[in-house]
Structure 1
Amino acid sequence: MAELDHNGHELKAGLRFPWVAPPAAGETLEVAPGVLWLRMPLPFGLDHINLYLLRHDDGWVAVDSGLATEQSRAVWEQVLGGVLEGRPLLALVCTHFHYDHSGLLGWLAERFRCPVYMTHAEYQAIHVAPPQDDEPHWAFHQYYRQAGLSEEDSVAFLPLIRQAHFRPTPPAAFRRLREGSVLPIGGRRWQVVVGRGHSPEHACLYSAEDGLLISGDQVLPRITPTVGVSVDEPDGDPLRDWLESLDRLGQLPDEVLVLPAHERPFHGLHTRLTQLREHHRRHLDLALERCAQPCTAAELMAELFPRLRSRFDELMAIAETLAHCNYLIGEGLLVRETEAGVHRYRRVRSGETTGAPSSPF
């Protein structure tokens, strides 16, 4: 039996969950006056995404849109004709470009002729499509080759990223969100708090008056958001960006109700931020220990993620492993050396002066 506090809220892992169960797909649950929690299905191990519907005048503002699947469209039809009582969507807010969040943006925006609000970097990123040609660009294979994987491995990833639901219909135009932007919706002032690392310029929405934080993927209550190096920026340092973003989110009050994109809303923001930092600190320590002897990212991945169940898990894990490597290089704790087109990482030896950064070539 779950532990409950005096308000009947479930207590788990230092967090407090006001709702024991989520709404069923196509149904909603009011988490604050005029704020509805809508759960949409996903065809993955992580089988859902949470969207939020904000009442405004004679219509609604939707935060995120779901994946571009027929199942998602069917749920939207059910919601539009049922819970929303036929009232239109007046605007769409997209937290970030990832396909479960942006997949139906263009479809909904065209249907209601309504504006889409998102940050500039996320609008740009939504137009960077996964490789669709029979033979991907050379940089695609090079990324995985340098990580210590074979060309056969990289080819095996292609069917995963070429699936139709990874090709959202982008909106034709957008209204730009910036750090500190304020969206007046339904009598509330939603302030934009930008996070980076999980995606280029992820927009969270914070209502100080009501103590609400729509966190998207930036803060999740149980799983850790993917923070990975992408094929199009192989020397990026997203983990540093993400950890710095957690520090900024830590300036918000601990008692806010966090409305995440996955799993259930919760209280305990500061506790969760500490847990997320500690998770990555453990991975960084483990990476340093493994790199006492030079190893490839693929070899290190097996240490950091020993229970991968599928090619999709491997796709995510190699990107996360590279993020930890690049962070440690930036800290001056790892050196990257290249031999025959493959990168190997080793820990900086005692007394060693690294001097110039690791060669990018």
Structure 2
Amino acid sequence: MTQRFDQGPWAAAGVQTVQPGVHRVPLPLPNDGLHAVNVYLLEDLAADGLVMIDGGWAVPEARKALEAALAVIGRDLGEISHILVTHIHRDHYTNAVELRRLLGCRVYLGAGERPGLEMLGLLRSDEPAGSLETLRRAGAAELADEVARMDHGGYDPSVWEAPDRWLGAGTLRFGDRGLRVVPTPGHTRGHVVYLDEQRGLLFSGDHVLPHITPSIGFELAEPGGRPLADYLDSLHLMTRYADARLLPAHGPVTDSAHTRVAELLAHHDDRLAKSLSALDQGTLDAHGVARRLGWTRREVPFEELSAFNRMLAVNETAAHLDVLVLRGRAEVAFANGVNQYTRTR
């Protein structure tokens, strides 16, 4: 579960030059425990302007912070020509759409996000309908109703415009230079990372974060698939490439993506083991298992979490239980609208 209190000095306004021509800029987020999302400005990749990785949340404070950061490096907003987005969550995508309207720049997004983006354009609110359905199947109908009653910040369907280009696996070229596009489903179905193999840099979005674990199974649109299984496969995929500096969407730049991938895999192994142990008490739904686990690095009891974070906890537990089923360590039966899990003997 994403721990929504990783603030730290990395989120302070300003510019960090990671190396010549590559700059990290934290943009503020409204009403979010993370406080900021990193976008990256690449000066020497495209001949026709700046390449920006991730867009931020479309709020005036983010535009102001971006303009101030550009001034520090002697550039201006009009020089942004390409925005490469890692996934469709609004703290990454919506400002890219706004900047395209303002500047005419091109926006890129992973092809796996297309069904979700099309669904978002049809919704009448931004309540996480997919996650609420997962909650109900997890035996947490009352929590689903509580989350549904929450104020989700208003919904403007116009921000969910299609990108200029859908990206699959391969190399996105800018003249003689390029970035490898690597699909990494899990956090969302169409999440991608951008790997600069020449400079040894991984722009990881929310796939690999240095201090926190990304939420799994949080969907605004229809639920489906096995998000944690996909996420674990996507983590293993990172080790097939040469190690690189980690340039995440939330948190500071760190020296080794592989080191953090190993930590995340170990974390999920631990959560799988604890989820399996909870089934020693008998058949349980995901809500019942989640209530028996500690949450965040501080092992906070489930009932002490906010409603939103209880939703994330239950959905992540359901994802872990589904992996245990895939691995033959548990069985699942669907009864009265709820998935019930039993440890295999």
Tell me what 1:179 maps to.
169
SS in 1 for 2:258: helix
SS in 1 for 2:119: coil
- Contact 2:131-2:218 at 8 Å conserved across structures: no
Tell me what 1:238 maps to.
227
The one of 316, 328, 336 aligned to 1:332 = 328
- Contact 2:126-2:155 at 8 Å conserved across structures: no
- TM-superposed CA distance for 1:94, in Å, is 0.6
- Residue-by-residue CA offset, 1:143-175 (whole Å, 9 max, x unaligned): 43321113x422221254732378671334421
Counterparts of 1:13-52 in structure 2 under 5 Å? 22=10, 24-25=12-13, 27-42=14-29, 43-52=31-40
Tell me what 2:184 maps to.
195
Sequence identity of aligned pairs in percent?
Answer: 31
SS in 1 for 2:189: coil
Structure 2 segments unaligned to the other structure (5+ residues): 1-7
Tell me what 2:3 maps to.
none
Tell me what 2:4 maps to.
none
Aligned length: 325
Cα 1:119/1:141, change in 2 over 3 Å:
closer
Cα 1:190/1:72, change in 2 over 3 Å:
same
SS in 2 for 1:31: strand
- Contact 1:103-1:168 at 8 Å conserved across structures: no
Counterparts of 1:297-316 in structure 2 under 5 Å? 297-306=286-295, 307=300, 308=302, 309-316=305-312
Q: In structure 1, what is the Cα distance between the partners aligned to 2:127 and 2:191?
A: 31
Q: CA RMSD in A?
A: 2.8
Tell me what 1:319 maps to.
315
Q: In structure 2, what is the Cα distance between the partners aligned to 1:113 and 1:134?
A: 26
Tell me what 1:3 maps to.
none
Counterparts of 1:287-302 in structure 2 under 5 Å? 287-292=275-280, 293-302=282-291
Q: In structure 1, what is the Cα distance between the partners aligned to 2:240 and 2:154?
A: 39
- Contact 2:10-2:26 at 8 Å conserved across structures: yes
Tell me what 1:9 maps to.
none
- Contact 1:68-1:168 at 8 Å conserved across structures: no
- TM-superposed CA distance for 1:23, in Å, is 7.0
The one of 51, 64, 70 aligned to 2:54 = 64
- Residue-by-residue CA offset, 1:198-239 (whole Å, 9 max, x unaligned): 111222111222111111111111111112264755452111
Counterparts of 1:70-149 in structure 2 under 5 Å? 70-79=60-69, 83=73, 85-86=75-76, 87-129=78-120, 132=124, 142-149=133-140
- TM-superposed CA distance for 1:304, in Å, is 3.1
125-134 or 196-205: which moved more? Answer: 125-134
- Residue-by-residue CA offset, 1:61-81 (whole Å, 9 max, x unaligned): 111111233322332343456
SS in 2 for 1:281: helix
Counterpart residue identity of residue 311, structure 1 = A
- TM-superposed CA distance for 1:176, in Å, is 2.2
Greater relative CO, 1 or 2 (CA 8 Å, sep 6+): 2
- Contact 2:169-2:182 at 8 Å conserved across structures: yes
SS in 2 for 1:201: coil
- TM-superposed CA distance for 1:37, in Å, is 0.5
Q: In structure 2, what is the Cα distance between the partners aligned to 1:23 and 1:149?
A: 34
- Contact 1:229-1:235 at 8 Å conserved across structures: no
Cα 1:102/1:232, change in 2 over 3 Å:
closer
- Contact 1:105-1:170 at 8 Å conserved across structures: no
Counterpart residue identity of residue 239, structure 1 = L
Tell me what 2:258 maps to.
270
Cα 1:176/1:143, change in 2 over 3 Å:
closer
Structure 1 segments unaligned to the other structure (5+ residues): 1-19, 350-361
Greater helix proportion: 2
Provide TM-score, normalisation by structure 2: 0.84
SS in 2 for 1:101: helix
Tell me what 2:249 maps to.
261
- TM-superposed CA distance for 1:39, in Å, is 0.4
Provide TM-score, normalisation by structure 1: 0.81
- Contact 1:67-1:99 at 8 Å conserved across structures: yes
- Contact 1:230-1:319 at 8 Å conserved across structures: no
- Contact 2:188-2:219 at 8 Å conserved across structures: no
- Residue-by-residue CA offset, 1:16-52 (whole Å, 9 max, x unaligned): xxxx953732x21211221110001123221111100
